[in-house]
Amino acid sequence: MSTPLPAELTPFQKSLRGKSMPDALDAAAAAWPDSLAFHEIEGKQRSLTWAEFRDAVTRLRSGLEAAGVTTGAKVGLLITNRIEFPIAWFAVVEAGAAIVPLNPKYTSKEIDFVLRDAEATWLLGESDLVDKHVADGKVGPVDLARIVTIDGSAQGALSYDKLMVTPTTDRRQGIDPLEITNIQFTSGTTGLPKGCLLTHEYWMELGIFGSLLDGSSRRLLADHPFYYMQNQAYLMLAIFRGGTLYITPGLSRRKFMDWLHDYRIDFAWIDEDILEFPADPRDTDLAMKRAPVSGLPGWAYEPLLQRFGIRGRECYASTELGNGTAVPYDRDDLAGNGSMGFCFPNRESKVVDEHFNEVPSGTPGELCMRGPGIMLGYHNRPEANAELFLDGGWFRTGDVVVKEADGQHYYKGRTRDMIRRSGENISAAEVESQIATLDGVWDVAAVPVPDPIREEEVKVIVVREADSSLTPQDIVAHAREGLAPFKVPRYVEFRDELPYTASGKVHKAALKEEAEPLHAGVVDTKG
């Protein structure tokens, strides 16, 4: 299918299509051995070249294999933004196992759920993060004997540093591109978090075709969490560009502009908040001239260009899908017109109605996409997979769009139940499930509330049992016992009943469309 996006692969990219992640790392280490692959902006401020990264992966992989990690194993990673995360990722994958990234903000209950759901039997993590979750000689279902700790620990049986000095062995060859590399948990849009089965093909396709969109950038700001797909995706882009990942401890509004200037960053994800930063004489001297955005308001495009010289372009992607659509950087006429852009060269799209029949151009419906490198499905979720994959390999994204005759896509809304707070996807069902276990709660619904700083905040509407005297503070305290801090509701409202649909489900659409979601009966637990 033709697309206005760049489609011509370089010889380097062509030679690696259909290959594995270790093949790509071998090629990068051979092509630019002395070029910087990583630099930690804060903390220890360590750096690795591509040759050094290749060597570190070989050493850790050899150590993991000697310790007993085998093909098909599932290895939890409990690591913050630091060089050890990409080393561990590639080492585990090279050993034939799959990583299960864990959010360091997770409670012990959430870690236990994710590790059990993924059937993980190994854990590699920072000692201070691991130690606080140890109970009865385990972290979740993983025995201490199979826990590798970074920075030393009295709890973990295996030391990362010691594994790194294990005699090295040759890596596997002829790796199947459809071998699973990640069980990447996402809050998704229905029910508890689900593990996306991602493959070598997923990451190779993402890296190759993502590089086509802007092949000139070489200094990438890795300021998102490494346990989500974004920094992992940036690493794959760097491999196919010979670029450098500048790793930060995390997102920071206060430090963002200094990072861009001090490290001459030419690739970073931005939003309209950048326009709120105080004016700086350096604003016109940014190395970054192009930037991917998502849902950027139309009014923000021209100020970005005038003040910073940045051309923002809409990109649509997800953990399940990888790359989906994008607006070409050479199409100023499409900047800010609401377009999600055109399909990447390795993607096809169609828009369907509730019966999964394709609708005519210009008609709203659910976006479906297909092409090499989409996730294989959710781990141990056959019912969800049967629902989300249609005949012909089409994946239902859950997003409502309009596709025009020229191939452009326009976003209209979501079909599933999700709250997005400060870049974190939160399953409303997960919040509801935790609060529903509190004595005195008869029914509960979690809904998003617009927020100018965090995009959305979590609001819960609770129906108490007849004799209950629960307070909003009780609700929040119970939520904190089983949910990561970013999932804990900020707003609590008590009602006598919730609205229901004809099928007996809570009428979420009606709750979301209420004219005054924060009326006088709502308690702001932070106010």
- Which pLDDT belongs to residue 189? 44
Q: What are phi and psi of 88, to 5 degrees?
A: -65, -40
**Secondary structure tally for the chain: helices H, strands E:** 15, 29
pLDDT in tens, 134-176: 999 999 999 999 999 999 776 778 999 999 999 999 999 999 9
Mean pLDDT value of segment 516-522: 84
CATH T-level fold of 32-175: Rossmann fold (3.40.50)
User: Where do the domains of the chain lie?
Assistant: 32-175, 202-414, 418-524
- Which pLDDT belongs to residue 191? 56
CATH T-level fold of 418-524: GMP Synthetase; Chain A, domain 3 (3.30.300)
- Which pLDDT belongs to residue 141? 98
Output the 3-class SS for 467-520: CCCCCHHHHHHHHHHHCCHHHCCCEEEECCCCCECCCCCECHHHHHCCCCCCCC
Pairing of strands 219-222, 441-451: unpaired
pLDDT in tens, 298-337: 999 999 999 999 999 999 999 999 999 999 999 999 998 9
pTM: 0.83
Per the DSSP assignment, residues forming a β-bridge with 421 are 424, 455
| Residue 1 reports pLDDT greater than 50 | no
Tell me if 32-175 shares its fold with 202-414. yes
| Residue found by looking up tokens 């969490």 in the block | 225
Write the CATH number of the domain with boundaries 202-414: 3.40.50.12780
- How far apart (Å, rounded) are the C-alpha atoms in residues 19 and 12? 12
Cα 209 to Cα 6, 30, 237, distances in angstroms: 9, 21, 9
pLDDT in tens, 257-274: 999 999 999 999 999 989
DSSP string, 310-345: -EEEEEEEETTTEEEEE--TT-GGGTTSSEEEEE-T
- Which pLDDT belongs to residue 408? 95
| Residue 439 reports pLDDT greater than 90 | yes
Specify burial of residue 162 (Cβ count, 10 A radius: 0-12, 13-18, 19+).
Answer: exposed
Cα 375 to Cα 20, 182, 399, 460, distances in angstroms: 15, 10, 17, 32
- Which pLDDT belongs to residue 429? 78
* Greatest mean pLDDT among 78-82, 435-439, 505-509: 78-82
Cα 219 to Cα 135, 197, 242, 504, distances in angstroms: 42, 29, 9, 52
Q: What are phi and psi of 205, to 5 degrees?
A: -65, -40
Give residue 41's Cα distance to chain centre.
21
Cα 378 to Cα 389, 430, 431, 504, distances in angstroms: 11, 17, 20, 27
